[in-house]
Amino acid sequence: MVGSPEFLADPYAHYAWLRENAPVYRGRLAYVSDQDVWMVSRHADCRALLTDERFQRSPGGNGPGFLEQFPEAAREPLKLLTTYSMIMMDDPAHRRLRMLVVKPFTPGAIARIGKRVAELAHGLLDRLEQVGTADLREQFALPIPSTVINEMMGVPHADRDRFQKGAQALIAGGFDYGQDSWVREVNEMTELVRQLIEHKRTEPGEDILTGLIHAEEEGDRLDEHELVAMAFLLITAGYETTYNLITNAVVTLLDHPDELARLRSATDDDELWRGAVDEVLRYNSPVGGTEPVTATEDVVWHGVTIPAGASAVPLTQAANRDPEVFEDPDRFDIDRRPNNHLAFGHGVHYCLGANLARLETRVALGILFERNPNLRLAVDRCELTIEPLPLWTRYQTLPVRFG
């Protein structure tokens, strides 16, 4: 079972076995334990799955096929997070919503955020370095992207902690959807988002949410459910992957001191640093797969039938170590070119925030290692633990010493 303790102890060994022996595997994910899922592990097949029109995220526009297995109390909040969310829609509905929000995430718009990321990184390190030690995950990697997306969304400063805690609770608790506490957290977070929308209606600003509200009012048919779902998606997805990417990058670079030394000696080499970030995404991405898709008809791959109505998941972490695509795939190589990893997905649902995540990670890492040439772990490497979440590689903490 993907996400089980046995799997998490050595996921890449399991991925290698799947690629070689069962490229289309009928199994279960730990957080959907009573439903079979067809998992695809080879790079070419993952790309195909993400573009094959026989697989949809919301067949018939009714939401993902797995919703019916959950308790009735959980279905309504789940619909808000899935059926009405851009990330779980198919074209043309997906395209319409994506076009409404794409402008703030263009390369030019993202490039202007770099200065703000640098200000945040320096400000955090000014305080943390005085203490000498810190949990880098919670005290450095998290505040940078959460502040950036909150500012982009126009979340009032007084509400940011509530949004951050709510989003983290939902993401962590989302692997046990049936729990009453999870339903309560979804409802509380939804109410926070609705309050934010009402605030923006009366006090508009130069932010993404105000733009979405205006688009709705100008007849772009963005209904209330879609507006709430979009706000929720941007607030949560806007930092969750990035702060874990920054964390994973620090661990990976400390594990590979020769590559780190090259980066430290080339602080102005943007191409090398961009390559390093993409290699972390390939080698140690925090995300192991995309959202599930549903087969709209029987599909036969590698002699295995994925039946109509079944859920399928591309295991992107497995694809990113596929030796058919990546030479010596278990080697961390910041010079790897080309680097066609699938950490941000593929096709129409390719991650909207990919450029933002890359920028924040590159700037944060550059400043961290430039200011701290002797940065090191504050615990033995073996004491770093991975959170038991299927299809995620997230370190529970990252204690470091500055210097």
Which residues fall within 8 angstroms of residue 38, CB to CB, at 6 or more apart?
A: 24, 25, 26, 295, 304, 306, 310, 311, 312, 313
Residue 50 belongs to what H/E stretch? none
SS3 assignment, position 398: coil
Cα 363 to Cα 120, 144, 259, 269, distances in angstroms: 10, 10, 17, 12
pTM check: above 0.95: no
Question: Strands 304-306 and 299-301: what pairing?
Answer: antiparallel
Q: Tell me how many helices (H) and strands (E) the chain has.
A: 17, 10
Element of type H or E holding 111:
helix 107-111
pLDDT tens string, the chain, 403 residues long: the values are 676 777 877 889 999 999 999 999 999 876 555 678 999 999 999 999 999 999 998 887 766 666 666 666 666 666 666 677 888 888 988 888 888 888 888 888 888 899 999 999 999 999 999 999 999 999 999 999 999 999 998 989 888 888 887 777 766 655 554 466 777 777 888 888 889 999 999 999 888 888 888 875 566 667 888 888 888 888 877 788 899 999 999 999 999 999 999 999 998 899 999 999 999 999 999 999 988 899 999 999 999 999 999 999 999 999 999 999 999 999 999 999 999 999 999 999 999 899 999 999 999 999 999 999 999 999 999 999 998 888 889 999 999 999 9
> Was domain 75-287+333-401 assigned CATH 3.40.50.720?
no
Give CA–CA dist 276/28, Å, rounded.
Answer: 33
- Find the angle CA(48)-CA(303)-CA(68) to the nearest 5 degrees: 65
Radius of gyration of the chain (CA): 21
Domain coordinates in residue numbering, the chain? 75-287+333-401
